[in-house]
Structure 1
Amino acid sequence: MTRHIRHAAVFCALLLAALLVNAARIQVFQAPAYDDHPANRRPAIARYGQPRGDILVGGRPVTGSKDTAGRLRYERTYTDGPLYAPVTGFASQVYGSSLLEDTEDGILSGTDPMLAPFPLVGDLTRARSRGGDVVTTLNAAAQRAAYAGLGARKGAVAALEPSTGRILALVSTPSYDPESLSGNSATVARSWAQLNEDPSKPMLNRATGQTYPPGSTFKVVTAAAALDAGVVRDVDEPTDSPAPYTLPGTRTRLTNESEGCEDAPLRVAFEWSCNTVFAKLGVDVGVADMAATAEAFGFNATDLRVPYAVAPSTFDTTVDRAQLALSAIGQYNTRATPLQMAMVAAAVANGGQVREPYLVERTTTAHGSTVAAAGPRPARQAMRPSTAVRLRELMRNVVEDGTGTNAAIPGVTVGGKTGTAQHGIGNSGTPYAWFVSWAQGGRALEPKVAVAVVVEDAAADRGDITGGGVAAPIARAVMEAVLGTAR
C-alpha cells in the first residue's frame, strides 16, 4: 500500500513539475510572442488604462488625459496644441507617437523602470507605474512670440540660450492640433488623411526636420573661416574682391544687391551682405578649411538629437572652386535647419563655443521626484574666441547701421545677419527670408538668447525677402520675450 502511495506521490510531483515548467515556458519564454501578437489587446488596454504623464512648459502642463470610459480608456489632450506641436508631437491610439511623445514614451506611459520603486517586484507582477512628467527648457513667452510672429506664413523659429544650449523656442507653421489624432474613432482616420494630404505639410517640423539653403546668413560661417585661417586679418582693410565676380573656371558672373561692394572691407561687406566678397573669400579659404569650420558649427553631423532626431545640415566637401564660391554664400548644396542656424548665432554670442542644444530639462515621477536631469552639455569650439569677438561686432553693425535695423531693441545689444535663400529651378522660386541674431540685456554679462527665423513665403518686396522686413521683426519679438522687455 505504501509503495502505491509513494508512486502516486511521485507521479503527482512530476505532474506539478510539468505544470510549473509549462507555466514558465508560457509566462517567461513565450511571453514576448504573446505580447506582440496582433490579437492580444491586453498591452493596449493596459497602456491606455491610466492617465499619461504630462509635458511641462514653464512649470505648467501643455498636455493632459481624457477619460472616455471605453476599453482604451484614456486619450491624450493638448493645451494650445498647434503652438507646441513641433515639440510635443502626437500620441495616437492608432498611429503611434512622435517627437517628445515618442522619445519620452517610457516616462510618460509609466513603463520606464526608473519610475518603479521596486523594479524586481514590478517585473514579476507586471504592474505599470504612474506616468511621469517631462519638464522642457521652453520659454512660454518666447514660444508664443514666435508663433504669433509667423502667423499664417510658412516658416520656423528656433531660439537657444547660448551659454547652455537650452532650447527656448521651437515653432513651425502652419501647424496642427495633435489632439485630432489622439483617439481611435473614424474622425481620427479622417484627420490623419487630411493632414497627410495637405500640401502645406502642417505635420512637418520645419524647425528641426526641414533644411533650407541658408543664403547670406551662412556668411557668418564664411567670415569665421576667413578670420581663423588668416585670409582676413583686419576687418577694415580692403579685400581684393572684384564686383561683379566671375566664378572660377566659368563665365558666370556673380553680382550684388548693394552698391559699393568692390574690394569692400569685411566690415562693409558683412553689413551690406556683399555676395562677391564672401564668394571670393570662400575660394581663398579653400574647401578643407571651409568644411572644417562648417563642421565645427555642426554641419554634416548626423547624430544630433534634442532628444528626437534633427535633420542633418550639410556643407558639400566635394565641390570645385566655382561651387565653393556659391557654397560660401549659402547656396549650391549648402543646407541648414533653423535650429542649426540658431547654433551658429549662439556660437558667436558664446565666445566661439557651440553648446549641444537640448529640449528636456529633466524627467520626474508623478510625485515630482527627479528621475533624470539634463546636466552639462558638451561644448565644441567653432572658432577662435578673438574671431567671435570680431563677429559680434560685425553682427552689431548689421542691426545698428545695416540691413537688420528692424531687429533693434532699445537698451539692448543686438547682433544679427539677414539672408536670402534662392531656390527652385533657375532660382525662380520666391526667396526664403532668413534672419539670425543674438541679444544681450543692458545689465547682463553675456547674451541670453540666439534666434534663427526662416519665412518660406516672403512677400515679393526685396526688402522683405532679404529678411530685414519679414524675419527680423519676428526675431526681435522672441528676443524681447526672453529678455522680458516686450511691451
Structure 2
Amino acid sequence: MTRHIRHAAFFCALLLIALLANAARIQVIEARTYDDNIANRRGTIARYGQPRGDILVGGTPVTGSRDTGEHLRYERTYTNGPMYAPVTGFASQVYGTTFLEHTEDGVLAGTDPLLSPFPMWKGVARDRNPGGDVLTTLHRGAQEAAYEGLTGRKGAVAAVEPSTGRILALVSAPSYDPSVLSGNGPAVARSWATLNRDQDKPMLNRAVRKTYPPGSTFKVVTAAAALDAGVVKKLDKRTDSEDPYTLPGTRTSLTNESEGCTDVPLRKAFEWSCNTVFAKLGVRVGVKRMAATAKAFGFNDADLRIPFSVAESTFDTKVDKAQLALSSIGQYNTRATPLQMAMVAAAVANGGQVRSPYLVERRTRAGGSTVATGGSRSVRQAMRPSTAALLKELMVDVVREGTGSNAWIPGATVGGKTGTAQHGLGNSGTPYAWFVSWAQGDLDLEPKVAVAVVVEDADPDRGDISGGGDAAPIARAVMKAVLKSPSDDRR
C-alpha cells in the first residue's frame, strides 16, 4: 500500500512540475506571442483604461482625455485640433496613432520604461505607469500666426530657431480635427472615410511630408555654391550672363520674368531673381559641387526625424548640363519640403551652420519630473561663414528693395527670398508661391527665427504670382510673433 502511495505522490509531483514548466513557458517564453494575439484584448483595455499623457505647447496641454465610461474607457481630445494636427497627429482606438502621438506613444501611454522608478522590475512585471507628458518646442504665437495666415488657403509653414534647430511652427492647410477619429463608434469610421476621400488631403502634413519644386528660393543654395567655389567672388561684379540663356546641348532658351538680367552682378540677379544668371552659375559650379552644397543644407537625406520622419528633399545628382541648369533654379527634379527650405534660411542666418531640427523639448513623468530631453543633434557647415555673411546681405536687399518688401518688420533686420515654382503638365498648373526668410530684432544678438512658406493656390490674377505677394505676409506675421515675445515665453 505504501508503495502505491509513493508512486501516486511521485506522479503528482511530476504533474506539478509539468504544470509549472508549462506556466513558465506561457508566462515568459511565449508571453510576447500571446500579448500580440489579435484575440487578446487585455492590452487594449489596459491601454485605454487610464488617461493618456499630454502634448504641451508653451507649457499648456493641447491634448486631453475624456472618460466615456465604456469598455475602452478614455478617448483622446484635442484643443485647437486643426491647428496642431500636423504636430500631434491623431490617437485613434480604431486607426492607431500618427506623428507625435505615434513616436511618443510609450511616454504618453505610460509604457516607456523611463517612466518607472524601477525600470528593471517594469520590464519583468509589464505594468503600466501613469502617462507622461511631451513638451514641444513650438512657439504658440508663431503657430497661431501661421495657421491664421493660411486660413482658406492650401499650403504649409515651417519655422525654426536658427541657432538651435528648435521647430517654432509647423502648419499644414487645409487641416482636420483629430478628435473625430478618437473613439470607436460608427461616426469614427464615417469621418475616416470622408477625410480620405477629400481631394484636398487634409490629413497630409504638407510641412514635412510633401515636397515641392522650390523655384527661386533654391537660388540661395546656388548662390552659396557659387560663392564657396569662387565662381563668383564679388557681389557687385558683372557676371557673364546672356539673356535669354540657351541651355547647354539644346536649342531651348531660358528667359526671365524681369528685364535687364544680361551680365548683371549677383546682387541684382538675386534681388530680381534672374533665372538666366543662376542657371548658368549652376552649370559653371558643376553637378558635383552643387550636389555637395545641397547635401550640406540637408537635401538627399532620407533619415531626417524630428522625431517623426520627414520626406526626403532631393537634388538630382545624375543630370546633364541642361538639367543641371534647371535644377539650379529650383526646377527639374529639385524638390523640397517647407521644413527643408526653413533650414536653408536658418543656415544663412546662423553663419552657414545647419542645426538639425527637432520638435520635442523634453519628456516628463505625470508628476512633472524630466525623464529625457531633446536638444540639437548634428551640426553641419553648409557654407563658409564669409559666404553666409554675403548671403545675408543679398537676402536683406530682397526685403529692403526687391520683391520681398511685404516681409519688412519695423525694428528688425529681415532677409528673404521670393520664389515662384512651376508645376503640372507643361507647367500648366497655378505656380506655387514661396517665401523663405529670417529675422533679427534690433536688440537681439542673433537671428531668432527662420521661416519657409509655400502657398499652393496663389492668386493667378496677380501680376506678381510670387512669394512676395502671397507668402511673404504670412512669413512676416510668424516672424513678428517670435520677435515680440520675451525669450522666457517662447517655449
User: Normalising TM by the smaller chain, what interval?
Assistant: over 0.9
**Partner residue in 1 for 2:489:** none
Whether the 8 Å contact between 1:458 and 1:464 is mirrored in structure 2 is no
Aligned to 1:469, what secondary structure does the other structure show? helix
Distance 2:298 2:468 in 1: 25
Aligned to 1:172, what secondary structure does the other structure show? strand
Q: How far off is 1:12 after superposition?
A: 3.0
Distance 1:485 1:94 in 2: 40
- Seq. identity, %: 77
**Partner residue in 2 for 1:282:** 282
**Partner residue in 2 for 1:466:** 466
Aligned to 1:435, what secondary structure does the other structure show? strand
Deviation per CA, 1:227-248, whole angstroms, max 9, x where unpaired? Answer: 0000000110000000111111
Structural mapping, 1:226-241, within 5 Å: 226-241=226-241
Whether the 8 Å contact between 2:85 and 2:175 is mirrored in structure 1 is yes
Q: Which amino acid aligns with 2:352?
A: G
**Partner residue in 2 for 1:389:** 389
Q: Which amino acid aligns with 2:355?
A: R
Structure 2 gaps of 5+ residues are 487-491
Aligned to 2:371, what secondary structure does the other structure show? strand
Structural mapping, 1:42-61, within 5 Å: 42-61=42-61
Q: Which amino acid aligns with 2:27?
A: Q
Deviation per CA, 1:248-289, whole angstroms, max 9, x where unpaired? Answer: 111111111111110000000001101110011011111011
Whether the 8 Å contact between 1:433 and 1:464 is mirrored in structure 2 is no
**Partner residue in 1 for 2:71:** 71
Aligned to 1:454, what secondary structure does the other structure show? strand
Distance 1:106 1:293 in 2: 38
Whether the 8 Å contact between 1:306 and 1:358 is mirrored in structure 2 is yes
Distance 1:78 1:153 in 2: 23
Whether the 8 Å contact between 2:63 and 2:78 is mirrored in structure 1 is yes
**Partner residue in 2 for 1:306:** 306
Q: How far off is 1:93 after superposition?
A: 0.4
**Partner residue in 2 for 1:178:** 178
Distance 2:110 2:362 in 1: 16
Q: How far off is 1:98 after superposition?
A: 0.4
Structural mapping, 1:386-465, within 5 Å: 386-465=386-465
Structure 1 gaps of 5+ residues are none
Distance 2:400 2:268 in 1: 13
Distance 1:236 1:22 in 2: 83
Structural mapping, 1:53-452, within 5 Å: 53-452=53-452
Deviation per CA, 1:178-233, whole angstroms, max 9, x where unpaired? Answer: 00000000000000000000000000000000000000000000000000000000
Q: Which amino acid aligns with 1:291?
A: A
Whether the 8 Å contact between 2:166 and 2:376 is mirrored in structure 1 is no
Q: How far off is 1:460 after superposition?
A: 1.0
Whether the 8 Å contact between 1:416 and 1:436 is mirrored in structure 2 is yes
Deviation per CA, 1:380-401, whole angstroms, max 9, x where unpaired? Answer: 0000000000000000000000
Distance 2:160 2:476 in 1: 14
Please identify, of 463-472 and 147-156, the stretch whose mean Cα deviation from structure 2 is larger.
463-472
Deviation per CA, 1:116-146, whole angstroms, max 9, x where unpaired? Answer: 1223433443321111010000000000000
Aligned to 2:468, what secondary structure does the other structure show? coil
Aligned to 1:283, what secondary structure does the other structure show? helix
Q: How far off is 1:29 after superposition?
A: 1.9
Please identify, of 13-22 and 158-167, the stretch whose mean Cα deviation from structure 2 is larger.
13-22
Q: How far off is 1:464 after superposition?
A: 4.5
Q: How far off is 1:4 after superposition?
A: 4.9
Please identify, of 3-12 and 341-350, the stretch whose mean Cα deviation from structure 2 is larger.
3-12
Q: How far off is 1:376 after superposition?
A: 3.8
Aligned to 1:168, what secondary structure does the other structure show? strand
Q: Kindly report the root-mean-square deviation, in angstroms, between the aligned alpha carbons of the 2 structures.
A: 1.3
Whether the 8 Å contact between 2:435 and 2:467 is mirrored in structure 1 is yes
Distance 1:123 1:188 in 2: 34
Pair 300,124 (structure 1): closer, same or farther in 2 beyond 3 Å: closer
Scaled by the length of structure 2, the TM-score of the pair is 0.97
Q: How far off is 1:9 after superposition?
A: 3.7
Scaled by the length of structure 1, the TM-score of the pair is 0.98
Deviation per CA, 1:398-450, whole angstroms, max 9, x where unpaired? Answer: 00000100000001000000000000111111100000000000111110000
Please identify, of 371-380 and 403-412, the stretch whose mean Cα deviation from structure 2 is larger.
371-380
Distance 2:361 2:121 in 1: 29
Aligned to 1:156, what secondary structure does the other structure show? strand
Q: Which amino acid aligns with 1:232?
A: V
Deviation per CA, 1:342-401, whole angstroms, max 9, x where unpaired? Answer: 000000000000000000001111111111101342100000000000000000000000
Distance 1:125 1:151 in 2: 49
Q: How far off is 1:11 after superposition?
A: 2.9
Pair 107,321 (structure 1): closer, same or farther in 2 beyond 3 Å: same
Aligned to 1:158, what secondary structure does the other structure show? strand
Aligned to 1:453, what secondary structure does the other structure show? strand
Please identify, of 38-47 and 383-392, the stretch whose mean Cα deviation from structure 2 is larger.
38-47
Whether the 8 Å contact between 1:85 and 1:177 is mirrored in structure 2 is yes
Distance 1:120 1:413 in 2: 53
Whether the 8 Å contact between 2:438 and 2:451 is mirrored in structure 1 is yes
Distance 1:156 1:450 in 2: 14
Whether the 8 Å contact between 1:132 and 1:364 is mirrored in structure 2 is yes
Pair 10,334 (structure 1): closer, same or farther in 2 beyond 3 Å: same
Pair 358,394 (structure 1): closer, same or farther in 2 beyond 3 Å: same
Distance 1:463 1:471 in 2: 15
Q: Which amino acid aligns with 1:92?
A: S
Whether the 8 Å contact between 1:157 and 1:338 is mirrored in structure 2 is yes
Distance 1:435 1:124 in 2: 53
Q: How far off is 1:6 after superposition?
A: 4.2
Please identify, of 243-252 and 116-125, the stretch whose mean Cα deviation from structure 2 is larger.
116-125
Distance 2:122 2:392 in 1: 55
Distance 2:320 2:390 in 1: 29
